[in-house]
Amino acid sequence: MTSSDIGRAIFGVPLILTKGEATAIRRDLNCLWTQCYSEPSGDLEADLDLCRRFFDPLARGGTLRDRLAGLSAAPREVIQAGYVEPLVTDVGGGVLLVGVEARLLLWLLDTKDLDDGHIFLSPAEVAAMERTALGKYRAWSTARLNQVVALRSGKAAEVMQAVSVGLVIALLVNRSDAPERAIPKMSKETAAGKQVNEAIYAGAERFAAVVVPKRSERSVEERRLKGGYGLSEASRRLAHRLVTIKRPGREDLIHIAQISRPEVVRFLGLDLARRTGLTSNVLETAFDELIRAFRSEAGELAHRSMIFERAADTRRLKSDLVAAFDEARAGTLTSQT
């Protein structure tokens, strides 16, 4: 410890403490920790995760208010000790909130021999605690961003809904990969809208029934392009690759970005490959069922100039999708061995 370290502090606590000061800080922080989290401090990593209960940047205001309302006022002697942020946060009514910084300081003090006359907190220890705190807060603040990135990259914890996969395939089958071949998001309240929704969803539903035979059935009313769950899920996953053309006063149009078509096929192949029970043969059967249902309903839209399928392109799409599935599945198996 050098002379330049004299007067420095970590989270408002001096780097040099007497045995009595260190003992009092440990006692007070342990008291506050138990009040805030309803149990004594334990495993460091588990305790740091508990702090998210109050310090999660994504937490709703109402949720935080309810949680803070459940805390008891701190003992008078702890309040009089004058702890400051970021070690302790005064939330009003005599309630003192502790979190990441307090738990890290407790851990550091627990590593010290309090039988010595003084406790010295080294610059290296201080820097390590500050990095840990910063890393924890950064992980929480970027959690939503990481969720979105995972969805966009096909690496989310859960696979895409089978119906949503089928909808995207139906758009590709229809060659809706350019603005001039976009499909209108029409309301099911009109005859034309009902035809459009049924034509697109028919193939998607058949595809899903083969890929996930025991899946829960959605309400018929939810099978719609405008505000429906299937297209909303596809939009979250594909992001910019699924384009919506806004038309004030008219229905919006949707299509796959042409430049993204190969990427979308690979994305679907990767997502489907994550289903452990799915095989290439089952995928081919599901694709064939989608085509049969799509073509059966597509005749209703022929006179509306909304059908653009070409048999040769459909065969190529099937081949590309199965190849993407096989490639992704081979990569998955390799990474597990």
Over residues 48-84, the pLDDT tens digits come to 999 999 999 888 899 999 999 999 999 999 999 999 9
Encode pLDDT of 84-117 as tens digits.
999 999 999 999 999 999 999 999 999 888 777 7
Q: Is-contact 8 15, C-beta < 8 A? A: yes
Examine the domain organization and report whether 192 and 268 are in the same domain: yes
Q: Which residues of the chain have pLDDT under 70?
A: 1-8, 150-157, 186-194, 215-228, 300-304, 332-337
Examine the domain organization and report whether 97 and 206 are in the same domain: no
The confidence score (pLDDT) of residue 158 equals 77
Residue that is last in its domain, among 141, 167, 199 = 141
The confidence score (pLDDT) of residue 219 equals 47
Examine the domain organization and report whether 137 and 158 are in the same domain: no
The confidence score (pLDDT) of residue 6 equals 39
Containing domain of residue 27, as a range? Answer: 3-141
Examine the domain organization and report whether 179 and 80 are in the same domain: no
**Model-wide pTM > 0.75:** no
Specify if 208 maps to a domain. yes
Q: How far is the C-alpha of 153 from the C-alpha of 142, rounded, in Å?
A: 16
Examine the domain organization and report whether 234 and 185 are in the same domain: yes
Examine the domain organization and report whether 33 and 176 are in the same domain: no
Examine the domain organization and report whether 192 and 135 are in the same domain: no
Examine the domain organization and report whether 200 and 127 are in the same domain: no
The confidence score (pLDDT) of residue 217 equals 56
Tokens representing residue 288 in the block = 């064939």
Tokens representing residue 206 in the block = 């058949």
Question: Helices 229-238 and 143-153: crossing angle, nearest 10°?
Answer: 100
Which strand (E) or helix (H) includes residue 118?
Answer: strand 118-120
Specify if 291 maps to a domain. yes
Specify if 146 maps to a domain. no
Examine the domain organization and report whether 7 and 81 are in the same domain: yes
The confidence score (pLDDT) of residue 337 equals 40
The confidence score (pLDDT) of residue 59 equals 87
The confidence score (pLDDT) of residue 3 equals 38
Examine the domain organization and report whether 63 and 37 are in the same domain: yes
Examine the domain organization and report whether 110 and 194 are in the same domain: no
Residue that is last in its domain, among 106, 141, 176 = 141
Specify if 201 maps to a domain. yes
The confidence score (pLDDT) of residue 262 equals 95
Question: Helices 123-141 and 143-153: crossing angle, nearest 10°?
Answer: 50
Q: How far is the C-alpha of 274 from the C-alpha of 70, rounded, in Å?
A: 43
Counted residue by residue, the chain has a size of 337
Number of domains in the chain: 2
Residue that is last in its domain, among 80, 114, 141 = 141
The confidence score (pLDDT) of residue 4 equals 42
